[in-house]
């Protein structure tokens, strides 16, 4: 009886302990890799969510103002043909400059030049562009506060903003895309790109792009559709 009891109380051998520890280390390594990947995926999705919020905020602000471009403006005082409000000489794929006349004050024409009586109120003469130094979309208004110019950041953590212009002929079936606007531009596409912050275990330099198409409701072509 005594010998049998001693035999049953014997512990693991050194070989058994080494095998057990090896299996445990392998399992811990597998679990560590799975957890690390899960954390990386979660971080990546969090970055995309943050990018969506930033880009959507920028698109909402720009879309609202650009859509109202040309309000109260005519190409000339005789024919009173509605203007899309875009300043062609100062707009391209990297920035957009547009005017509106919300207060309906002054001359209703859109004369050439930087000083326009009819667009001298806050929010009536706006330029949007991307600032490389701050990775931000900037809104410039020369009449922001009682005629005092002001450049303000509408959203940061942006990698780029681009503009595409869609020009309409008298026929709705004819639409051309260009990097610069014309007097026939009736729609503007805004493309905002956000470069995601690096996350361990995820590829670097990941980007997310967001696009918004804005109809210039005051352009001559668009008004004829109503």
Q: Give the residue ranges of DSSP H helices in the chain.
A: 2-8, 14-67, 220-223
Q: How confident is the model at residue 8 (pLDDT cuts 50, 70, 90)?
A: low
Q: How confident is the model at residue 19 (pLDDT cuts 50, 70, 90)?
A: confident
pLDDT tens digits, residue range 121-163? Answer: 888 999 999 998 888 899 999 988 766 788 888 887 788 899 9
Strands (E) located in the chain: 95-99, 125-131, 136-145, 148-155, 160-168, 175-178, 185-195, 207-215
- Phi, psi of 23, rounded to the nearest 5 degrees: -60, -40
Specify the pLDDT at position 216.
92
Average pLDDT over residues 197-211: 72
Pairwise CA distance, residues 107 & 73, whole Å: 9
What residues contact 114, with CB distance under 8 A and at least 6 apart?
none
pLDDT tens digits, residue range 82-128? Answer: 889 999 999 999 999 999 988 776 554 545 543 445 687 888 999 99
- Does residue 172 have a pLDDT over 80? no
| Cα of 206 vs its chain's centroid, Å | 15
């Amino acid at each position: 009886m005594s010998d049998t009891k001693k035999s049953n109380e014997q512990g693991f051998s050194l070989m058994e302990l080494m095998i057990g520890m090896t299996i445990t280390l392998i399992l811990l390594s597998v679990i560590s890799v799975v957890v690390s990947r899960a954390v990386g995926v979660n971080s990546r999705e969090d970055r995309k969510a943050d990018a969506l919020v930033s880009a959507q905020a920028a698109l909402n602000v720009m879309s609202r103002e650009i859509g109202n471009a040309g309000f109260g403006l005519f190409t000339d005082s005789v024919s009173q043909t509605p203007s899309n409000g875009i300043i062609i000489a100062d707009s391209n794929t990297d920035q957009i400059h547009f005017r509106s006349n919300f207060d309906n004050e002054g001359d209703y024409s859109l004369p050439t030049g930087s000083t326009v009586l009819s667009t001298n109120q806050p929010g009536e003469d706006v330029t949007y562009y991307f600032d490389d130094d701050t990775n931000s979309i900037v809104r410039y208004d020369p009449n922001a506060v009682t005629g005092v110019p002001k450049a303000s950041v509408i959203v940061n953590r942006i990698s780029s903003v681009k503009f595409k212009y869609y020009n309409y002929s008298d026929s709705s079936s004819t639409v051309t895309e260009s990097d610069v606007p014309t007097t026939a531009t009736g729609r503007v596409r805004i493309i905002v790109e956000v470069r995601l912050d690096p996350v361990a275990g995820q590829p670097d330099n990941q980007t997310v792009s967001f696009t918004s198409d804005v109809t210039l409701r005051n352009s001559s072509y668009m008004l004829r559709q109503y």
